[in-house]
Chain A
Amino acid sequence: MDYIVDMRQITKKFGSFIANNSIDFNLMSGETHALVGENGAGKTTLMRMLYGQYQPTSGEIYIKGNKESYNISRALSLGIGMVHQNFMQIPDMSVLENIILGHAPIKNSFIDYKAAKDKVQRLLDRFNMKISLSKPIGSLSVGERQKIEIIKTLYLGANILILDEPTAVLTPQESDELFNIIEELKAEGKSVIFISHKLKEVITVADRITVLRHGKVSANYLKGEVTETDIARAMIGKKEVALFQNQSRGKLEDLVCKFEKLRFIDDDGVPKLRDLSFDIRAGEILGIGGVEGNGQTELLNSIIGMNYLSSGKIILDGKNITNLSIAERRKLGVGYVSEDRMTTGLALQADIGDNVISGIEDDFTSYTFLNKRKIDEFTAKLIEDFDIRGIEEGNPVSNLSGGNMQKIVLAREISRKPKLLLASQPTRGLDIGAINFVRKILLEEKEKGTAILLISANLEELMSLSDRMIILYEGRIAGEITSYDIENKLVSEADIGLMMGGISERKDGENDTNIQS
């Protein structure tokens, strides 16, 4: 068979660590080949070798039948383009400038913008994209920016596209659009390598699926002959994969926190929260759904105290905490698992000890000096309780995997015995094993009587964990889903999708579809 890419017996070692162990991977023209695996399984390493960023320790790469050994710039001329997970874009430059950056057509030693524009516009038209080329790229939505990245690789003449977790930051609708684009690319005879750990997508999109585990190929599948469970098993190498589910919905316990008419107007004068009122009880997981940017971040920041409300009241355990500082709120029992563990969740250059005592460092002193033994004992206990792996004493936590970083964040917050735990996107970017661990921890906390406010973009997660859900749209509640509805599956994902779009269908019959802007 004719492979456009044929990687044979690829091995890549970093020191004594084997990231890729004799991997065979190939790609035919006009096919979508999905590469699946947990974080650290070696997907990105393999692709970086294909993209010329790394050189294999041993093994051979054949492109269109010729044996090649190359670096990144040569990879481009071989027609290999990669769309990175973190876009390589300059926000203040226009869309056009970003696309032609470094490869602009030159006429009379000046950039030929007209030719560039024509060429890019043709590409956009071909994929039915309506994006203004003169806008600064930073003003586009994440989905649009991703499309631009794809256009860029096509502009550079790529016919082998590597998409590194392209849907990680997209809404379901945006993902669908991306899949359409992939179909069109295929129709044109381009080949796509699709890296992901969202199994559902993989099954829909890919013609072939290769599963990596611990740097080795653990399974190969063809389209249509595999289920999500098969892939999941191949990924984590266990027989049973059942994600934890909330098993005790609908218990009514004491009120923990009451939110009254929360209103927040941002620096540009845009109201982000519009008279939002709800409450949360002990032992309850309240799921907050909605498309990102509909007030979730502002809500969270207002509760933890990162910003102050324009009006409204937050009453925790009968105490008005609306105007308290972050430290005071934390002392009263607010815990916070940030959506962004890299910036708000952890100090990456600090070691685990420094990370877990932050905010309660005064408890670890004896005679005004920090007591290293106390800190070490505390840290060791958390490492054991939360099964945090890969810790080397005194080393920065930035060396750890995403799952272990998140465990540190959870360990810190939960060790402080919060009454109200704010968990924002707690499983984002984690592999199945870590996701399940986080779920388990949250459910255990619920059993202990902690009120948990769970914000997630993942509907499946919200549905399986929440006792009750509210859907936000433009800073308001666009829909409320009771535990009874969840338990008896009375709402479908489509219903929720409508609510996320601002079309409210409350069970009490009170519809308010016309939300003013």
Chain B
Amino acid sequence: MIQTYKAKLHDKNQLFQLLGPVFSIIIAFIVAGLVVWATGGDPIEAYTVLAKGAFGSLSGIKNTIRYTIPIIMLGISFAICSKCGYFNIGQEGQMYAAAIAVAAVQRIFGDLPMVPLMFIMIIAAILAGGIICIIPAIFKFLFNVNEVITAMLINYIILLFTNYLLLYSPIAEVGKSTAMSIRISPVISGSLLLIVSIIIILVYGLIMKRTTPGYRLKIVGYNQRFAKASGINTIRLILIVAFLGGAFSGISVAGEMFGVYHKVYNGFVENLGFYGMTAALIGSKSTLGLVLGALILGSLQSGAVTLSVMTDVPSELVLVVQGFVMLFATINIMQYFTKTLDKKGVE
């Protein structure tokens, strides 16, 4: 009798955990709506237009997917690192490094046919992102510096270095000194990209939940000392994971360059890193949540265009909503409720 009751309570907790991200998102929308209402706009109209813009037409949906996929990749980049307690906040730096690497490949191997060229570019992006992401981890183990600080500083270095390269380096284009372009045009269809992304997500989810590397990651994340004492090589694991985190940043930027921008310019992936982090926070309990979070953030971006055209509400509303989603995802309100339910006062 007691056992079944406990089981029920347990299920309820799990339900809450699943609903948690949804709840955060809803609250974010309500609060942002209040902001719109306070500034004289009509929140319901604004949200309707946003939704229509993001999902109302085929091109809208395509656009939404286009914005969602890189956020998913960046979400994985953050989530995989945070699983083992490594805080990967340097995604922007990793993305710029990967972008430069892609542009450099274009300069050096530009004469190769399209498919091998793309292949080399992807490898280069993965390596560049991974190496940048692994540096703070190495510093952490060698000098005991917090990875967040190192990553933030590295971000600045890379950002400014990118600017320098854009202006003066041999891989920059003479005459068009503000950008480095690549020759790749979208030879792969959007739907293929979508399928590949879905496969990546599924494989990621499966690895995390059902395999020994995923298990080790989880244990290291729970308790590093314990993991070490049970014979898990924690340092090696964290270094590998840091590399993978950077690799996913690299993949996301390769996709952006192949499919959308075809060039590197100053600030071309601004804020994307933070969206990835938000998606990962929303989905801190499940990969599904991550995808959902990325979808929300992506659709906000794609709906933003129509918003400013169709209504008086400025498209910056989207930034406000994103900000609130980020905020509430971090707080994770539902966790508070589940904790109180869980509480046991007996010592």
**A-to-B contact residues, CB < 8 Å:** 14, 16-17, 19, 39-40, 43-45, 48, 54, 304, 306, 325-327, 329-331, 336, 338, 343-350, 354, 357-359, 361-362, 365, 368-370, 392, 394-395, 399
Q: Is the CB of B347 within 8 A of A44?
A: yes
Q: Which residues of A contact B347 (CB under 8 A)?
A: 39-40, 43-45, 48
Beta-carbon contact of B232 and A358 below 8 Å: yes
* CB–CB A336/B219 < 8 A: no
Contact A306/B223 with A14-B346, A350-B218, A392-B10 known, Cβ cut-off 8 Å: no
Beyond contacts A14-B346, A343-B223, A365-B211: 15 other A-B pairs, Cβ-Cβ < 8 A, are A40-B346, A40-B347, A43-B347, A44-B347, A325-B231, A336-B229, A344-B229, A346-B223, A347-B222, A347-B226, A349-B222, A350-B218, A359-B232, A368-B212, A392-B10
Question: Is B344 located at the chain interface by the 8 A CB criterion?
Answer: yes
List, in ascending order, chain A residues with CB within 8 A of B211's CB.
365, 368-370
What are the 3 closest A-B residue pairs judged by CB atoms, nearest first? A327-B231, A359-B230, A347-B222
In the assembled complex, the CB of B212 is this many whole angstroms from the nearest CB of chain A, namely 5
Residues of chain B within 8 A (CB-CB) of A17 are 346
In the complex, 11 of the A-B residue pairs with CB atoms within 8 angstroms, ordered by the A residue number, are A16-B2, A40-B346, A329-B231, A338-B229, A344-B225, A345-B229, A346-B226, A347-B227, A354-B219, A365-B212, A370-B211
* A350-B219, A370-B212 given; A345·B226 CB < 8 A: yes
Q: B210 within 8 Å of A by Cβ?
A: yes
**B335 neighbours in A (Cβ, 8 Å):** none
- CA of A207 to CA of B344, assembled, Å: 33
Does A347 lie within 8 Å of B219, measured CB to CB?
Answer: yes
Which range contains the number of B residues in contact with the other chain?
20 to 34
Q: Does B266 contact A (CB under 8 A)?
A: no
The answer to whether A358 and B226 touch (CB under 8 A), given A350-B219, A368-B211, is yes
Residues of A within 8 A of B219 (CB): 347, 350, 354, 358
B residues less than 8 Å from A40 (CB atoms): 346-347
Q: With a CB–CB cut-off of 8 A, which chain A residues contact B206?
A: 369
A403 CB to closest chain B CB (Å) equals 13
Q: How far is the CA of A366 from the CA of B114 in the complex (A)?
A: 40
Q: Are A347 and B223 in contact (CB under 8 A)?
A: yes
B141 on interface, CB distance cutoff 8 Å? no
Instruction: State A392–B206 Cα separation when bound (angstroms).
Output: 25
Query: Given the complex of chains A and B, what is the CA–CA distance between A326 and B226 in angstroms?
Result: 12
Q: Which residues of B contact A43 (CB under 8 A)?
A: 347
Question: B: which residues have CB within 8 A of A?
Answer: 2, 6-7, 10, 206, 210-212, 215-216, 218-219, 222-223, 225-233, 344-347
Known A-B contacts A338-B229, A346-B226; A361 and B212 likewise in contact (beta carbons under 8 Å): yes
Taking the closest CB of chain A, its distance from the CB of B344, in whole angstroms, is 6
From B215, B227, B344, A370 is in contact (CB under 8 Å) with B215
CB distance from A424 to the nearest CB of B (A): 11
Query: Contact: B344 with A399, CB < 8 Å?
Result: yes
Closest partner residue, chain A, to B210 (CB atom): A369
- Structural contact, A395 and B10, CB atoms closer than 8 A: yes
Min C-beta distance of A375 to chain B, whole Å: 10
Chain B residues in 8 Å Cβ range of A331 = 231
Q: Which residues from chain B contact A399 at a C-beta distance below 8 Å?
A: 344
- The residues of A that contact B226 with a CB separation of less than 8 Å are 343-347, 358
Which residue from chain B places its CB closest to the CB of A215 in the assembled complex?
A: B346
Residue of B210, B211, B345 ringed by the most chain A CB atoms within 10 A: B345
**B218: chain A residues within 8 A (beta carbon):** 350, 354
Of A14, A330, A359, A392, which is in contact with the most chain B CB atoms at under 10 Å from its CB?
A359
* B216 nearest CB neighbor, chain A only: A361
Question: Smallest CB–CB gap between A429 and chain B, Å?
Answer: 12
For residue A214, give the distance in angstroms from its CB to the closest CB of chain B.
12
Contact of B222 among A350, A357, A361, A370 (CB under 8 A): A350
Distance, CA A304 to CA B231, complexed state (A): 9
Residues of A close to B212: CB separation below 8 A: 361-362, 365, 368, 370
Q: How far is the CA of A431 from the CA of B206 in the complex (A)?
A: 42
Q: Which of A44, A306, A349 is the one whose CB lies under 8 Å from B229?
A: A306
